[in-house]
Structure 1
Amino acid sequence: MKVRETARRQYIQIVDAAAAQLQTLRTPGEGWLSTLRKALGMSGAQVAARAGVSRAAVYQAERNECDGAITIAQMHKLAEAMGGRFVYAVIPDTGRVEDMIQAQARRVAKDLVLGASAHMALEQQSLPREQTAQRIDELTDELARDMPPGFWHAG
């Protein structure tokens, strides 16, 4: 196995492990900052004093978090002011990294095979449905394994 492939496998393990741990985690409706602050029984003024910001800045940060407009630095600062820590992750929406790669490979394979089949049909040379499906499966495996340039451009 090449060094590059070994490194990619390690990245996959990291992402898949995080995804498995966070599978059921959902952001509370009020956001994490507000939820932790209220769970601790802290007022906005108390968090503000500990963070060295105004009370208005705390409430604005809580609103910004819900709107997706808060910065990572703000999340860190306010989490630490409450005695917590801010963590984030980017994980597959569903399943594992390999599932994402396999799904993309199937999309690309279908596009390629069905595109070629359409041209062949014009010349009355199209493959039977079973052979087309088999070719899509074979090409899917090949694309998932090799991930050629342009692999992620489609779909």
Structure 2
Amino acid sequence: MRNKKQLLIEQLDQKLKPFQETEMVLVPDKGWVNTIRTTLNMTMAQLGTKLGVTKQGVKRIEESEAKGSISINSLKEVGDALELKLVYGFVPKDGTIDNLINNKAQTLARKIVLRTNQNMKLEDQGISDEKIKQSVIDLATEIKREMRKSLWE
């Protein structure tokens, strides 16, 4: 039976699925605001009028976006002025949130099992490679089920 945490992970993966299946969106060098404004053949003054700022204000907006220092609220305002919707979110680099958690749990489990096995070897009680492999799988499953905070250290 799935626990509440697993259900939340599955629901989040479902919400992110449309974004995972699209190609990587690359931000244009001059930023989206500049790219969209120039594509629409709109001047800085025209966009400034829609935003209630000067031409220099639009230039600052475009520069701050290109540098990565623009606020989300500023992007929303520009989107509203251009009659566009701002889309914002995080998508796992490799697959799903579930995969991310699995990978982190496997890494942590392997670290714990190998450290424990090293201590056991010092006492001539080391375990076989097959037993190590199974121990990592078992511990990773437990770590994932419990969603230990140590997963993110």
Amino acid at match of 2:71: T
Q: Residue deviations 1:81-118, cap 9 Å, x none?
A: 12212121112122111110011001110111011011
Shift of 1:72: 0.9
CA contact (8 A) 2:120 2:126 kept: yes
Shift of 1:137: 1.9
CA distance in structure 1 between the partners assigned to 2:26 and 2:82 by the alignment: 20
Shift of 1:122: 1.1
Map 1:39-118 to 2 at 5 A.
39-118=39-118
* DSSP-derived class of the 2:53 partner: coil
Change over 3 Å in CA distance of 1:106–1:6 after alignment to 2: closer
Shift of 1:68: 1.1
CA contact (8 A) 1:18 1:91 kept: no
State which drifts further: 65-74 or 80-89. Answer: 80-89
Q: Residue deviations 1:43-92, cap 9 Å, x none?
A: 11110011101111111111111111101111111122122121211121
- Is the counterpart of residue 142 in structure 1 residue 135 in structure 2? no
Q: Which segments of 5 or more consecutive residues in structure 2 lack a partner in the other structure?
A: none
Shift of 1:149: 4.0
Amino acid at match of 1:91: V
State which drifts further: 127-136 or 31-40. Answer: 127-136
Change over 3 Å in CA distance of 1:40–1:23 after alignment to 2: same
Q: Identity, % of aligned pairs?
A: 26
CA distance in structure 2 between the partners assigned to 1:135 and 1:2 by the alignment: 22
* DSSP-derived class of the 2:57 partner: helix
* DSSP-derived class of the 2:151 partner: coil
Aligned Cα root-mean-square deviation (Å): 1.9
* TM-score normalized by the length of structure 1: 0.87
* DSSP-derived class of the 1:120 partner: helix
Q: Which segments of 5 or more consecutive residues in structure 1 lack a partner in the other structure?
A: none
* DSSP-derived class of the 2:56 partner: helix
* DSSP-derived class of the 1:150 partner: helix
CA distance in structure 2 between the partners assigned to 1:101 and 1:2 by the alignment: 15
